[in-house]
Amino acid sequence: MASLKHLPAVKGAKVLMVGAGGIGCELLKTLALSGFQDIHIIDMDTIEVSNLNRQFLFRQSHVGQSKAKVAREAVLKFRPHISITPYHANVKDSDFNVDFFKQFNVVLNGLDNLDARRHVNRLCLAADVPLIESGTTGFLGQVTVHVKERTECYECQPKPAPKTYPVCTITSTPSKFVHCIVWAKELLFAKLFGDKNQANDLNVRSSDGASSSKQAEDVFEHRKDEDIEQYGRRIYDHVFGYNIEVALSNEETWKNRNRPKPIYSSEFMPNDLSQQNGSMEKNGAANDISSVSAMASLGMKNPQDVWSLKENSRVFLEALKLFFLKREKEIGNLTFDKDDQLAVEFVTAAANIRAASFGIPLHSLFEAKGIAGNIVHAVATTNAIIAGLIVIEAIKVLQNDTKNYRMTYCLEHPTRKMLLMPVEPFEPNRSCYVCSETPLSLEINTHRAKLRDFVEKIVKSTLGMSLPLIMHGSALLYEVGDDLDEEMVANYAANLDKVLSELPTPVTSGTMLTIEDLQQELSCQINIKHREEFDEEKEPDGMVLSGWTQAPSVVKDDNESIANAGSTSNEPPVEAEKNDEIEIPPEKKRKLSEVSEAVDPDLSSVDGDTRNPDKLQVLDDDDELMIFDNWDSVTNKKNRTQ
């Protein structure tokens, strides 16, 4: 319970929680026990069985129900007189606009993805509401405070782009099991069960590519009246046999590499597939999609077993068959989900068969699921610690106790004899395009890149805009929204497929584009620089965004030192390595009050801030997602994380 001197601020506060998962459950409980009276919760998820080992407000009987609503009911059982308002919705919905956020005294994040975090950060800035961010990954965790114009915003320090691999590595020369997982998940699974209109060439790049194009076009179509088992074998033989032979025809590729081995279904499976079929009865009721499992059908029980090539082949064909027989209505709209058992089985089997072809060690379903879903097993104790720290910082914010704001990092191993490491917040990054609206620069080939590439890869993916509006001077190039008439929608759709330099108002080198998101009340400018060529491996998107730099460092005070812990990125690419060590170097800090006197007199009244960018951030993920950021290079220590 909060102390008596804190109670007025706590009882009178209106608090918004975003996320009711691992951190959220602990946070709601702690808020209620600390005397908070008016709590609102937003969460779009429903409860899954896998949540029950750490989200202690939920029980087996709650599976399938709204997290926000069940969490409310659970807390009201021991705090019946407080007000808890749940919203089973996406925080990016239009209902949760700037005016909605303005009604709260503080916003507390317990999210598990970068996109939603950035969105909430921008709404809090627009509404001028303090935000307390949090995240956990295993034994590691962090809590950070973000107050407009007093501390850095969530996006003041750039989040490194997810580690990716060139398409040619994935499709032609895999050398790691993760390459096989990406191929199985992003290419094969998407080709068979996802959007049929999406460009996706599964043929290996080779000089013989043209001659194989016809077969590539036809092979993935399930022909009318074709037996599903024969279809499965045809797919198997094409991707694991024929495609490998096409790749082998390019001798230059294999001069310094181990040659892969083509694999055909006849090597492991009898011509009479009925001898190997699993039992459909083992997959439960016909309408119970969640129980459909190739492993269950084949009588395979242990997900930690490493299957033989023959067993992987059986699982591959059985999973493909079950998708068409049990889940045919979903085909064409499916995307890989780590919680979809049949999808995980299919991807595991496909990745293992490809790995066997390229001489890469096979992995169990348990291991493959971890790689495909970037899973790190959650620790309930870490969530509880982080939730407690969030409430402590929330009370400071409500009392406007700026001198005592702290970013606190929960470490797995003691550093400077501490497992909880407090760090004074940093001042806003004057180069942050979100809170300082600094112009950005984009290098792009304006004669080849289409407006669609710019919108998808830069505006939406990199900048995190939800409802973007793109202007060149007074000319509107692109806009989305429900209030657009059909003619406008058609014009903007046509613009998407035009090359930048061929738009009605051409975008060329030197063009300054203005990008706005009306929902986030965010605006930024991008200066376009034409560039002819890009390195396919280092710059696979064919464009480079820059201009978002860290704030300049200052003279450090020798009388005060503190170590920084660090933070992870939230967008979990499957390529992330999981076995790297983390180094946390000590560093020295200086209070903003001392810095401001020497640097900027206008900032002297901003207490509790610091001007020091030489920091590490720790984690940004709740629950099971993991991807580590790069530690800052200013420490001159070896970079040990991806």
Active site residues: 168
Pair 130, 107: CB distance under 8 Å: yes
In angstroms, the Cα distances linking 356 to 263, 312, 313, 351 are: 9, 10, 11, 9
User: Is 51 marked as binding a ligand?
Assistant: yes
**Which residues have a Cβ under 8 Å from the Cβ of 222 and sit 6 or more positions away?**
228, 231, 324
Q: What's the gap between Cα 376 and its chain centre?
A: 14
User: Is 180 marked as binding a ligand?
Assistant: no
User: Is 435 marked as binding a ligand?
Assistant: yes
**Which residues have a Cβ under 8 Å from the Cβ of 91 and sit 6 or more positions away?**
18, 42, 44, 111, 116, 119, 120
Helix (H, G, I), strand (E, B) or coil at 87: strand
Q: In this structure, how many other beta carbons lie within 10 angstroms of the beta carbon of residue 150?
A: 19
DSSP 350-374: HHHHHHHHTTPPP--HHHHHHHHHT
**Which residues have a Cβ under 8 Å from the Cβ of 487 and sit 6 or more positions away?**
none
What are the phi and psi torsion angles at 136 (to 5°)?
-140, 150
Helix (H, G, I), strand (E, B) or coil at 440: strand
For the chain, give the number of residues: 642
The torsion angle over the Cα atoms of residues 166, 172, 178 and 180, rounded to 10 degrees, is 140
DSSP 562-605: EE---BB-SS--TT--S-------EEE--BHHHHHHHH-GGGTT
Eight-state DSSP code of residue 220: T
The torsion angle over the Cα atoms of residues 191, 195, 200 and 201, rounded to 10 degrees, is 50
User: Is 52 marked as binding a ligand?
Assistant: yes
List the beta bridge partners of residue 444: 530, 543
User: Is 24 marked as binding a ligand?
Assistant: yes
Whole-number Å distance between alpha carbons of 89 and 22: 18
User: Is 124 marked as binding a ligand?
Assistant: no
User: Is 23 marked as binding a ligand?
Assistant: yes
In angstroms, the Cα distances linking 305 to 300, 312, 354 are: 9, 11, 18
* Region label for 273, one of left (φ > 0), alpha (ψ between -120 and 50) or beta (otherwise): alpha
* Alpha helices, H only, 212-293: 213-219, 228-237, 243-248
User: Is 21 marked as binding a ligand?
Assistant: yes
CA atoms within 13 A on the CB side of 118: 23
User: Is 224 marked as binding a ligand?
Assistant: no
User: Is 115 marked as binding a ligand?
Assistant: yes
Q: In this structure, how many other beta carbons lie within 10 angstroms of the beta carbon of residue 237?
A: 17
Helix (H, G, I), strand (E, B) or coil at 443: strand
Helix (H, G, I), strand (E, B) or coil at 116: helix
Whole-number Å distance between alpha carbons of 318 and 346: 9
Q: What's the gap between Cα 430 and its chain centre?
A: 26
User: Is 112 marked as binding a ligand?
Assistant: yes
User: Is 557 marked as binding a ligand?
Assistant: no
User: Is 352 marked as binding a ligand?
Assistant: no
What are the phi and psi torsion angles at 569 (to 5°)?
-80, 160
User: Is 620 marked as binding a ligand?
Assistant: no
Pair 413, 467: CB distance under 8 Å: no
User: Is 54 marked as binding a ligand?
Assistant: yes
Residue at token pair 């096409």: 246
User: Is 430 marked as binding a ligand?
Assistant: no
Q: What is the largest CA-CA distance in the chain?
A: 84
User: Is 197 marked as binding a ligand?
Assistant: no
User: Is 368 marked as binding a ligand?
Assistant: no
Whole-number Å distance between alpha carbons of 300 and 296: 6
User: Is 114 marked as binding a ligand?
Assistant: yes
User: Is 257 marked as binding a ligand?
Assistant: no
- Residues marked as binding? 19-24, 43, 51-54, 67, 112-117, 153, 156, 432, 435
- Residues marked as binding for ATP? 19-24, 43, 51-54, 67, 112-117
- Residues marked as binding for Zn(2+)? 153, 156, 432, 435
